[in-house]
A = this chain, B = another copy of it.
Amino acid sequence: MSKIKVAITQHACSESYAENLESGLNGIKEAARQGADLVLLPELSMGLYFCIKEDPDYFDMAETVPGPSTKALQLAAKENNIIVVATLFEKRAKGLYHNTAIVLDKDGTLAGTYQKMHIPDDPGFYEKYYFTPGDMGFKPIDTSIGKLGVLICWDQWYPEGARIMALSGAELLLFPSAIGWEPEETNEENNRQRNAWVTIQRSHAVANNLPVLSSNRVGLEEDKVNKMKTKFWGSSFITGQQGEILAEASIDNEEVIVAELNLNHTEQVRRVWPYLRDRRIDAYEGILKRHIDK
């Protein structure tokens, strides 16, 4: 398949697993109704963003893959004949957890998983406490519409991940996200942050001549004990192979956005802008260093 329709659901999350699952299922249904072949849900959309706080009890929310959420979403994929890309808190073994994306093909089969490789940690985003960094590397997942380069949130700031996905044959880059503002920050700083987030992800489309889908949640979430607050900034978007915005959502509404893509267009754009031809692989060893000290 070369011409496809892709969708993103942008929604808020609550304390209720059932409610969040329903929001996801409604988004999947709406995306299918609009003729989408694929729908991307926001990061960890089955609950509040629990990494706002370090709490040992929260590990109880982790589940195996496949497990209850995978099964519910597999059913939805099959019923709606649509590829579903979602993320969840994966329990891989006793005391070993990942932030994991699952890709469910149109027939409901689990096409593959991706474990978040870059794990953030800063006040209100305590992910290093919960998630072991992935050890599967950057591998596209084969589906009935093409190879999906799924990356997760913090991964989006790293051109390396997107590049390796592209070199491995990814035809589409997908970024489920949960990113927001500290409500006390100035508007000016908020705009700089949101624009940087859009820019870096559009740049992965530009550098690799691949469409990019980025899904984010909306809404204010607050931890009553540590008083941390995050206002998730929405702004989910879909770009074409030159980073051009094809569809974008608002900063605060629940929405399903849809765009048509032609995956064959990558070949045409790469002929005009042949970046892959000219990479200096003989001079990139520095990339494998933490810092290049004198």
Q: Which residues of A contact B (CB under 8 A)?
A: 117-120, 122, 133, 137-138, 154, 157-161, 163-164, 167-169, 192-193, 195-196, 199-200, 202-203, 206-207, 240, 242-244, 272-276, 278-281, 283-292, 294
Q: How far is the CA of A84 from the CA of B222 in the complex (A)?
A: 51
Q: How far is the CA of A98 from the CA of B164 in the complex (A)?
A: 30
Give the chain B neighbours of A280 by CB distance below 8 A. 117-118, 133, 158, 160-161
Please state if B138 and A275 are interface contacts (CB–CB under 8 Å).
no
Copies in the complex: 2
Q: Provide 19 A-B residue pairs closer than 8 Å at the C-beta atoms, listed in order of the A residue.
A: A118-B278, A120-B278, A122-B272, A133-B280, A154-B278, A158-B275, A158-B279, A158-B280, A159-B160, A160-B287, A164-B286, A167-B287, A169-B292, A169-B294, A192-B242, A195-B243, A281-B289, A287-B287, A288-B288
Q: How far is the CA of A292 from the CA of B139 in the complex (A)?
A: 10
Please state if A242 and B206 are interface contacts (CB–CB under 8 Å).
no
Q: How far is the CA of A95 from the CA of B268 in the complex (A)?
A: 35
Partner of A281 from B122, B154, B288 at Cβ < 8 Å? B288
Chain B residue with minimal CB distance to A273?
Answer: B157
Give the chain B neighbours of A242 by CB distance below 8 A. 192-193, 195-196
**How far in angstroms is the closest Cβ of chain B from A162?**
8
Task: Give the 10 A-B residue pairs with the shortest CB-CB distance, closest first.
Answer: A203-B203, A159-B159, A164-B286, A168-B292, A196-B206, A200-B206, A192-B242, A167-B292, A196-B242, A118-B278
Give the chain B neighbours of A117 by CB distance below 8 A. 280, 283
Q: A122-B272, A203-B199, A206-B199 are in contact. Are A283 and B192 (CB under 8 A)?
A: no
